[in-house]
Amino acid sequence: MGIGIGLGLADMPFSDGRAFWRWVDLCEAGGVDSLWQTDRLVSRDPILECMSMMAALAGGTRRLKFGMNVASVGLRDPLLLAKQCATIDFLSNGRLLPAFGIGNEKAPDWAAMGRPTQGRGQRTDEGLELIRRLWTEDSVSFEGKYYQYKDACISPKPLQKDFPLWIGGSSEAAIRRTARFGTGWLAGLESAEQVGPVVEAIKRACREAGREIDPEHFGAGFQVRFGRPDEPFLVKRFEAYRRRTGRDPGNQYVIGTAEQMLERLAIYVRGGVFKFILRPVGIDDEDMLRQTRRLIEDVLPHGPGLIKLAAAA
């Protein structure tokens, strides 16, 4: 099994675009596998729009792969989303890793757009079917509850002939959705101990559907920082996370040493996860660069040894 470790952004920790590109250049030169942008449209706190960021990375990097974790299909037009992904993949010479989900029902985007959360699962299923067909077929007609297309087509198609389509979510509907559409799965707020049963459920659903997902294409992510969890800004961040999700931040944050981060990764590996998105938490531009350098130097080189570490635990 091949371990892949990418880095992600859960917010916008940089003071300006120049600081962002310094971080991207560090990741490109440091051997980071991929970069991932959290999707959030409505926010008082700064955050980059994921599709725009992917397009920028297509032109601003040469080696890095990149994806969105995860784009909410229920909030976007499938034709536009399919066209955006195909264009970005074409311009990046096949480096886009599209990842989709239904969107968090607690997100403010739904109310801000006047769109009900009810039915977002079926809307997403229709959207994913359309996206997949638009990537591969020359003419797409469709009559659904939410979308009606007639002779729709896009060109150029994605450069990757077997274009990846990663799915997020752990509900029974999300498991069925992954088995139906997915070439990979990304965990959301599930803890390291919770992912194993989901991975097994997806594999069973795939067998029932006559499909198979590459066993390396199961992923998860969490936020990391070299430091102490009692730093004042982290205490506030943890409190906000509890209010927003109702979950223990300890499941989604590892604050401490490289050894603690590797131990958390090993727990995920034991659950069948082999692709990771680590989201460094930084206070400002320079702190974010320091945190990222330490990840590159102290964590990423140990990725290949995670399978042995997981087996030994």
Three-state SS letters, 52-81: HHHHHHHHHCCCCEEEEECEEHHHCCHHHH
pLDDT of residue 208: 96
pLDDT of residue 46: 94
* Number of domains the chain is built from: 1
Q: Extract the tokens encoding 166.
A: 């990663």
Radius of gyration of the chain (CA): 19
DSSP bridge pairs for 271: none
**9 and 313 Cβ atoms separated by less than 8 Å:** no
**Backbone dihedral angles phi then psi of residue 36, each to the nearest 5 degrees:** -135, 135
Residue 28, amino acid? E
Using alpha carbons only, what angle is made at residue 299 by residues 48 and 50, rounded to the nearest 5 degrees? Answer: 15
Residues 6+ apart with CB under 8 A from 185: 166, 167, 168, 178, 198, 199, 202, 213, 217, 218, 219
CATH of the domain at 36: 3.20.20.30
- Tell me the helices (H) and strands (E) count for the chain, helix number first: 11, 13
The neighbour count for residue 214, using CB atoms within 10 Å, is 11
Where do we find the tokens 């996206």? Answer: 131
**224 and 281 Cβ atoms separated by less than 8 Å:** yes
pLDDT of residue 313: 65
Q: Is 100 exposed, middle or buried (0-12, 13-18, 19+ CB in 10 A)?
A: buried
With CA atoms as reference, report the closest residue to 253 among 286, 290, 219, 228: 228
Domain that holds residue 20: 4-312
pLDDT tens for the chain, 313 residues: list them.
Answer: 689 999 999 999 999 999 999 999 999 999 999 999 999 999 998 999 999 999 999 999 999 999 999 999 999 999 999 999 999 999 999 999 999 999 888 889 999 999 999 999 999 999 999 999 999 999 999 999 999 999 999 999 999 998 999 999 999 999 999 999 999 999 988 999 999 999 999 999 999 999 999 999 999 999 999 999 999 999 999 998 898 888 999 999 999 999 999 999 999 999 999 999 999 999 999 999 999 999 999 999 999 899 888 887 6
DSSP bridge pairs for 142: 149
H/E stretch holding 209: helix 195-209
pLDDT of residue 132: 97
DSSP bridge pairs for 254: 224
Residue 131, amino acid? I
